Amino acid sequence: MIHLIYVLNYLLQLRKWHITGRLNKLLSSKNKPFYLLDAGCGEAQFLFPYAAQYCESYFKGIDRGHANIAFCNSYIKDRSLTHVSFEEMEMEQLKEKEIYDIVLCISVLPYSKNDRLALTCLHHAMKTGAELLLYVPVNQTIILPFYKKILQRYENYETIQQNQRVYTEQGLKLLLQDTDFKVVETKNTYGFFGKLSNELLNSHLILFNAYAFPFKIILSISLLISYPLILICMILDYTLPVRSGNGLMVLARK
């Protein structure tokens, strides 16, 4: 079931295309074995597939969600994945020193209570020359008026997870520099077509969670009809250059 969810995430999350593409190149360039930390791992959609591919390396996930860590620990126990471990904690509680060659921090930094401390803790946990692959939503501009109304009226991911801040590209770069990271490269994502795909998709998902069963059927049919357009917009955003958008992927080095 979880592997089906991973596939659905890949079909529905444009950010996963960008992150997976860059992470594949990053891991293939590393000497084996390496140590990887996924900070804010969730249900480990970025960790488990690579842990299966790189069995000689060590993987650790941390997350503040008790249910996420309980699931991940159950998964590795059932499959005897001795090179993978998980711990329930905030990023700001990480105390390890100079262990990891690669750190992932995917769409979780805006929800940390103290982002500067979180980055400092990640920096301390990394070896000299190690890399941080960071992805954050930025700007949060909206192009569809009805999507803005849906966000204002209904509970959504940002309100549930208690988003603490909205970044800009320049502000994030300054924060990384202040915490002793060197920004190696950046990539803007979710330009016009990416925003359109995301707003069409999220409109369906938010309303699906808000309404009763009969409306869920209607929304499911509507999403199936809309998905070809959503997919085309995702492909266009992934292949065309984006000068400024609602997502930013950063590779930084210690």
In a domain, 211, yes or no: no
Our CA angle for 40, 138, 156, nearest 5°, is: 65
Residue labelled with tokens 């991911």: 157
Q: Which strand (E) or helix (H) includes residue 151?
A: helix 145-153
Look up the domain containing 86 and give its range.
Answer: 2-143+157-191+243-253
pLDDT at 109: 93
From CA 168, how far away is CA 177, in angstroms rounded?
A: 14
pLDDT at 2: 74
In a domain, 74, yes or no: yes
- CB atoms under 10 Å from CB of 88, counted, come to 17
- Residue 155 has φ and ψ, to the nearest 5°, of -65, 140
In a domain, 70, yes or no: yes
Contact predicate 176/119, CB 8 Å: yes
Q: Which of 71, 188, 83, 77 lies closest to 136, judged by CA?
A: 188
In a domain, 9, yes or no: yes
> Residue 18 above 90 pLDDT?
yes
pLDDT at 160: 59
Out of 28-32, 105-109, 199-203, least confident range: 28-32
In a domain, 224, yes or no: no
In a domain, 215, yes or no: no
Residue labelled with tokens 């904690």: 89
pTM for the full predicted model: 0.88
Tell me the one-letter amino acid at 191: G
In a domain, 223, yes or no: no
Mean pLDDT of the chain: 91
> Residue 162 above 80 pLDDT?
no
Q: What is the CATH number of the domain that holds 62?
A: 3.40.50.150
> Residue 216 above 70 pLDDT?
yes
Q: Which of 132, 126, 131, 90 lies closest to 111, judged by CA?
A: 90
> Residue 157 above 70 pLDDT?
no
Q: How many domains does the chain have?
A: 1
Per-residue pLDDT reduced to its tens digit, 46-72: 899 899 899 999 999 999 999 999 999
In a domain, 148, yes or no: no
